């Protein structure tokens, strides 16, 4: 199958964490190519973000939603499907970063990160996958991380949560292959122009006692290609998974500039 994004014309695509940053850029790319886009986020700015896409000629709807609330997620997806039909693509971009020494990572931190990064993904897949199964068609793209494949200091809880997303993706890809669903995930390293990196840079600065500029120089020097990923790099790969890659399922592709190669 080609990478012709016009294949998305009229198809329902749901993106979580879509109020800003990478999630918004994914929703924007979908809308620009004719998809019906439902944008979900706990950030109230999601309504304005959707209106921005509508003003540009897209078909977008913004919905306030806490992905950790399983019952609320189920109700929201039921409404989405009733109003727009079966989900064609689900992108689970909602997530949070946590960087802290292991002994200072409290149970409350573990619970919050796990509820958003893992259970939030589970809840949204539950909401969408039944409609996909009935159609024998659908694409699920989960956001994991390079940290989910190899441990990094100060990132025990974040890495554990993203490792869980990878194995969840693999398990569901096998379970739903007979329904022709493609279920994959992305494993980025640092995304330069994202809100997550701004948050991570601040956390690293505090824990490593370095300036934000020193932190960026340190981590960028570890990347063989010499630069961090951009939001466009991530969005391009999401589009590949969405309109092509028909023989790809259960994959966790690295977007790391060569920093991680397994």
Please tell me the distance from the alpha carbon of residue 41 to that of residue 49, in angstroms, as a whole number.
Answer: 10
Please tell me the distance from the alpha carbon of residue 200 to that of residue 206, in angstroms, as a whole number.
Answer: 10
Q: What is the pLDDT of residue 261?
A: 83
Closest by CA position to 187, among listed 154, 151, 234, 155: 234
pLDDT score of 3 more than 90: no
Q: What is the pLDDT of residue 96?
A: 93
Q: What is the pLDDT of residue 1?
A: 45
Band of pLDDT at residue 262, cut at 50, 70 and 90: confident
Q: Could you tell me which residue, 13 or 196, shows the higher pLDDT?
A: 13
Once rounded to an integer, what is the mean pLDDT over residues 4-17? 94
Structure tokens at 19: 């109020």
- Domain 5-189+230-255 CATH assignment equals 1.10.3720.10: no
Q: Which stretch of 49-53, 107-111, 225-229 has the lowest confidence by average pLDDT?
A: 225-229
Please tell me the distance from the alpha carbon of residue 144 to that of residue 141, in angstroms, as a whole number.
Answer: 10
Q: What is the pLDDT of residue 196?
A: 67
Q: What is the mean pLDDT of the chain?
A: 93
In this structure, are residues 123 and 48 in contact, taking their beta carbons and an 8 Å threshold?
no
What's the full length of the chain, in residues?
262
Residue 37: exposure state from Cβ atoms within 10 A (0-12, 13-18, ≥19):
buried
Residues 6+ away with beta carbon under 8 Å from 226: 220, 257
List pLDDT tens digits, range 31-75.
999 999 999 999 999 999 999 999 999 999 999 999 999 999 999
In this structure, are residues 239 and 29 in contact, taking their beta carbons and an 8 Å threshold?
yes
pLDDT score of 257 more than 50: yes
Q: How many C-alpha atoms does 131 have within 13 Å on its Cβ side?
A: 25
204: three-class secondary structure by DSSP: helix
Q: What is the pLDDT of residue 195?
A: 65
Rounded alpha-carbon distances, angstroms, from residue 244 to 53, 75, 138, 195: 24, 30, 12, 28
Query: Which residue has tokens 């969005």?
Result: 235
List pLDDT tens digits, range 238-248.
999 999 989 99
Once rounded to an integer, what is the mean pLDDT over residues 105-109? 98
List pLDDT tens digits, range 167-198.
999 999 999 999 999 999 999 988 877 666 66
Please tell me the distance from the alpha carbon of residue 181 to that of residue 136, in angstroms, as a whole number.
Answer: 7
Q: Which residues pair with 14 in a beta bridge?
A: 38, 90
List pLDDT tens digits, range 117-156.
999 999 999 999 999 999 999 999 999 999 999 988 899 9
Once rounded to an integer, what is the mean pLDDT over residues 99-117? 96
């Amino acid at each position: 199958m080609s990478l012709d994004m016009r294949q998305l014309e009229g198809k329902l695509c749901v993106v979580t964490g879509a109020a800003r940053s990478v999630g918004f850029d994914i929703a924007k790319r979908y809308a620009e190519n004719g998809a019906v886009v439902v944008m979900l986020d706990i950030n109230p700015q999601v309504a304005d973000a959707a209106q921005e896409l509508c003003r540009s000629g897209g078909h977008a709807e913004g919905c306030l939603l806490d992905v950790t609330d399983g019952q609320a997620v189920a109700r929201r997806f039921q409404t989405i499907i009733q109003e727009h039909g079966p989900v064609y693509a689900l992108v689970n971009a909602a997530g949070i970063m946590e960087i802290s020494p292991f002994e200072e990572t409290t149970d409350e931190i573990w619970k919050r990160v796990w509820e958003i990064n893992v259970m939030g993904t589970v809840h949204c897949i539950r909401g969408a996958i039944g409609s996909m199964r009935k159609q024998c068609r659908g694409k699920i793209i989960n956001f994991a991380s390079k940290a989910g494949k190899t441990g990094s200091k100060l990132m025990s809880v974040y890495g554990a949560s993203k490792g869980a997303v990878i194995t969840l993706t693999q398990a569901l890809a096998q379970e739903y292959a007979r329904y022709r669903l493609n279920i994959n995930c992305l494993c980025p390293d640092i995304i330069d122009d994202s809100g997550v990196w701004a948050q991570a840079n601040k956390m690293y600065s505090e824990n490593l006692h370095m300036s934000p500029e020193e932190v960026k120089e340190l981590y960028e020097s570890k990347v063989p290609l010499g630069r961090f990923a951009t939001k466009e790099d991530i969005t391009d790969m999401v589009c590949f998974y969405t309109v092509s890659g028909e023989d790809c399922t259960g994959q966790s592709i690295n977007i790391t500039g060569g920093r991680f190669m397994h």
